Chain A
Amino acid sequence: MAHSQSGGPAILVEGLVKSFGEVRALRGIDLSVPRGTVLGVLGPNGAGKTTAVRILTTLLRPDGGRALVEGRDVVREAAAVRRSIGLAGQSAAIQLELTGRENLEIIGRLYHLSWPRARSRAIELLRQFELTDAADRAAKNFSGGMQRRLDLAASLVGQPKVLFLDEPTTGLDPRSRLAMWDTIRSLVAGGTTLLLTTQYMDEADELADQIVVIDHGEVIAAGTAEELKGRVGGDIVEFTVPDRARVGDAVAAIATIGEGEPHADAETGVVSVGVGGQGSDALIEVVRGLDKADVQTHGLTLRRPSLDDVFLALTGHAAEEEEADQPAGRRGRRKAKSKAADKETARTAS
């Protein structure tokens, strides 16, 4: 076993496989994250993001393949791996009845810091995460964003070399989301290696050096945000045709515009087309084409590509489509989330 402690990547994953009964959560994932960089793992509900994070953080044993963190095997050298990682899971794992300070002090003690050191570390982190004013209030009285920050602070008590954040902004309002992005950026500036999962293209775009897109437990694309968006065809013009019978006419009317084939959803009447960097010129052409064909539309917009668009381009289907086997609740949540993400994209774009 060559443990190149200093040279190798911070995270190395080869052919990782994990099943839960019938469900094949991971079907052979490969990842390599160089030290001091950020990997964004992008995927819809049930893609296997959390499963991958739980294996890398020693919480779950893989069925096959191997995973090294800082050169240590997550199964055979789990104890060593635990000494170099920090984890903030998908829900805020804090003790709501205790204060912010108590939460961090207890984690510090469990990292075997002395009492004075645990106390000063808690104070440092409360300051870093702008929780000093709330330090002695019970965490249950914190806002969602503050709870998330406290959770993130808790994951940093042990000064991890490699940090895992599982959907760190899911459920946050747009403002807290932007604040969380700032916080994460400043962490990374300190040299920590970060693996972050997300369902939002714009989040991966903002924070990650490299992105892997996973779907049904497989890596379906990898690259920088720019490379991935290049595959979508840049910006997107989208509109809805209220008269479903005329969706076909609308597609025909704009077929020559933009870079790829227009995508149409016959059920919802939503039509979208990638227009590359042509932006508003393409928008005008679309309006002209539709006008000439006399197709009524509403909600015509020009926007940046979202995860759904990347999915559409990579797999030919929308992220939520193939999840017909998932309970309705999960699909509903996913849709709501991607809408929020689109809104956010529109905001940052303007």
Chain B
Amino acid sequence: MTAIAVTDSSEPGLLTRAHWAVTDTLTITRRNLLVWLRVPAYIMFTVIQPVMFVLLFRYVFGGAIRVPDKGGYVNFLMPGIIAQTAAFATFGTAIALAQELQKGVIDRLRSMPMARSAVLAGRLVADTGRMLITTLIVIGVGYAVGFRFENGIVAAVAMVVLATVFGLAVCCISAYTGLAIGDEESVQAFGMVWLFPITFLSSAFVPIQSMPGWLQAFARNQPVTYVIDAMRALAGGGPVWPSLWKSIVWLAGILIVFAPLAVRAYKRAS
């Protein structure tokens, strides 16, 4: 063993610290993606499950659900599936953080001279990246079963970007719940309680007009619906702006509220 200590008691400069914030985030991102690749169940949840959803909704429910959209149900369905997949992927965010908290991994990292922001930032980068991969796979499968972008390449890319930002926002909420609740099973149960209603009580899978009146009031005015409607307009044509600006306001609001909350929960984690 070498006798030279790697630790140094002098305070590193601002530039060094900024550099470390980036490299530490990348190290944590890399670690999280490695873990993800090693667990077959995670691949199952993030790739196979959404593909199954596309096929099931397309062929089982698709015949029964009437939609006004050009291109029929599959074009209506795809933006909904993508948003739902992105939202559900954040189950993994919350659970992983709760596990790390319980196992003492976060304690170890917080006792090290690494960048304080890196654990959360690395988690968000890895999970958002994972989400993007899933989205692209789902779009590929969608294409195989009849889905088409009808509005040009720029709008198509914009739809993917919107889906990703939406996923990031939900990821922040999940990261906060994971760190604040801290117990794996409770986190999972709590995830069910808000993620299921917020995605299914939206325009994701069926036209809102087909819901009972009291549900319509909720479904019509909640952010997941705005995001999905904007994605639908970007993918299939039609007026984009009315739903897009509401989406942007909501997503910005969620990020402004929940990103600091998650950071605070991380700093306080015990």
Name A's B-contacting residues (CB within 8 A).
5, 54, 57-60, 70, 72, 79-80, 82-85, 87-95, 97-98, 102, 106-107, 109-113, 124, 128, 138, 154-155, 158-161, 190
Q: Which residues of A contact B270 (CB under 8 A)?
A: 54, 59-60
Q: Which 7 A-B pairs have the closest CB atoms?
A: A93-B104, A89-B104, A97-B38, A93-B108, A110-B114, A83-B7, A87-B111
Q: Are B38 and A89 in contact (CB under 8 A)?
A: no
Binary per-residue interface labels of chain B (107-125) against chain A in the complex, 1 for a CB within 8 Å, 0 otherwise: 1111111100010000000
Closest to A86 in B: B111
Binary per-residue interface labels of chain B (20-31) against chain A in the complex, 1 for a CB within 8 Å, 0 otherwise: 100110011011
**Distance in angstroms between the alpha carbons of A85 and B31 in the assembled complex:** 23
Q: Are B113 and A79 in contact (CB under 8 A)?
A: yes
Q: Which residues of A contact B31 (CB under 8 A)?
A: 95, 98, 102, 106
Interface residues of B in 222-270 (CB under 8 A from A): 270
Report if B44 contacts A (CB, 8 A).
no
Report if B105 contacts A (CB, 8 A).
yes
Q: Are B8 and A85 in contact (CB under 8 A)?
A: no
Q: Are B23 and A158 in contact (CB under 8 A)?
A: no
Q: Which residues of B contact A107 (CB under 8 A)?
A: 112
Q: Are A111 and B35 in contact (CB under 8 A)?
A: no
**Distance in angstroms between the alpha carbons of A4 and B142 in the assembled complex:** 68
Q: Which residues of B contact A91 (CB under 8 A)?
A: 102-104
* A158/B108 contact (C-beta < 8 A), A54-B270, A95-B35, A109-B27 known: no
Majority DSSP secondary structure for residues of B touching A: helix
Q: Are A161 and B5 in contact (CB under 8 A)?
A: yes
Q: Are A84 and B7 in contact (CB under 8 A)?
A: yes
**Distance in angstroms between the alpha carbons of A145 and B113 in the assembled complex:** 27
Q: Other than the known A59-B110, A159-B7, what 18 A-B pairs have Cβ atoms closer than 8 Å?
A: A58-B110, A59-B111, A79-B113, A80-B11, A83-B7, A84-B9, A87-B108, A93-B105, A95-B31, A109-B27, A110-B24, A110-B27, A110-B114, A110-B118, A112-B6, A112-B23, A154-B108, A158-B6
Q: Are B39 and A83 in contact (CB under 8 A)?
A: no
Point out the residue from A89, A124, A190 that lies within 8 Å of B108, measured CB to CB: A89
Q: Are B110 and A158 in contact (CB under 8 A)?
A: no
Q: Which residues of B contact A97 (CB under 8 A)?
A: 34-35, 38-39
* A83/B8 contact (C-beta < 8 A), A91-B103, A93-B105 known: yes
Q: Which residues of B contact A83 (CB under 8 A)?
A: 7-9, 113
Q: Are B8 and A59 in contact (CB under 8 A)?
A: no
Q: Are A110 and B109 in contact (CB under 8 A)?
A: yes
Measured CB to CB, the closest approach of chain A to B143, in angstroms, equals 33
Q: Which residues of A contact B11 (CB under 8 A)?
A: 79-80
Report if B1 contacts A (CB, 8 A).
yes
Point out the residue from B9, B102, B112 that lies within 8 Å of A158, measured CB to CB: B112
Q: Are A59 and B107 in contact (CB under 8 A)?
A: yes
Binary per-residue interface labels of chain B (124-154) against chain A in the complex, 1 for a CB within 8 Å, 0 otherwise: 0000000000000000000000000000000
What are 6 A-to-B residue pairs whose CB atoms are below 8 Å? A57-B107, A98-B31, A102-B31, A138-B38, A158-B112, A158-B113
Closest to A82 in B: B113
Number of interface residues of B (CB under 8 A): 32
Closest to B3 in A: A159
Q: Are B107 and A82 in contact (CB under 8 A)?
A: no
Q: Which residues of B contact A89 (CB under 8 A)?
A: 104, 107-108
Point out the residue from A84, A109, A155 that lies within 8 Å of B23, measured CB to CB: A109
**Distance in angstroms between the alpha carbons of A160 and B112 in the assembled complex:** 10
Q: Which residues of A contact B27 (CB under 8 A)?
A: 106, 109-110
Scoring B23, B35, B107, B110 by chain A CB atoms within 10 A of each residue's CB, the highest score goes to: B107
Q: Which residues of A contact B111 (CB under 8 A)?
A: 57-59, 82, 85, 87
**Distance in angstroms between the alpha carbons of A238 and B252 in the assembled complex:** 69
Q: Which residues of B contact A111 (CB under 8 A)?
A: 6-7, 112-114
Q: Are A158 and B7 in contact (CB under 8 A)?
A: yes
Q: Are A159 and B107 in contact (CB under 8 A)?
A: no
Measured CB to CB, the closest approach of chain B to A76, in angstroms, equals 13
Interface residues of B in 74-126 (CB under 8 A from A): 102-105, 107-114, 118
Measured CB to CB, the closest approach of chain A to B171, in angstroms, equals 20
Q: Which residues of A contact B114 (CB under 8 A)?
A: 110-112
**Distance in angstroms between the alpha carbons of A173 and B102 in the assembled complex:** 23
Q: Which residues of A contact B30 (CB under 8 A)?
A: 106
Q: Are A87 and B107 in contact (CB under 8 A)?
A: yes
Closest to A91 in B: B104
Measured CB to CB, the closest approach of chain B to A130, in angstroms, equals 15
Scoring B11, B30, B39, B112 by chain A CB atoms within 10 A of each residue's CB, the highest score goes to: B112
Point out the residue from B28, B38, B107, B118 that lies within 8 Å of A93, measured CB to CB: B107
Measured CB to CB, the closest approach of chain A to B69, in angstroms, equals 42
Q: Are A80 and B103 in contact (CB under 8 A)?
A: no
Q: Are A95 and B105 in contact (CB under 8 A)?
A: yes
Measured CB to CB, the closest approach of chain A to B5, in angstroms, equals 5
Q: Which residues of A contact B6 (CB under 8 A)?
A: 111-113, 158-159
Measured CB to CB, the closest approach of chain A to B211, in angstroms, equals 42
Q: Which residues of A contact B20 (CB under 8 A)?
A: 112
Closest to B20 in A: A112
Measured CB to CB, the closest approach of chain A to B46, in angstroms, equals 15
Scoring B1, B5, B27, B111 by chain A CB atoms within 10 A of each residue's CB, the highest score goes to: B111
Q: Which residues of B contact A161 (CB under 8 A)?
A: 5, 7
Q: Which residues of A contact B38 (CB under 8 A)?
A: 97-98, 138
Q: Which residues of B contact A190 (CB under 8 A)?
A: 1
**Distance in angstroms between the alpha carbons of A11 and B215 in the assembled complex:** 62
Q: Which residues of A contact B108 (CB under 8 A)?
A: 87-89, 93, 154-155
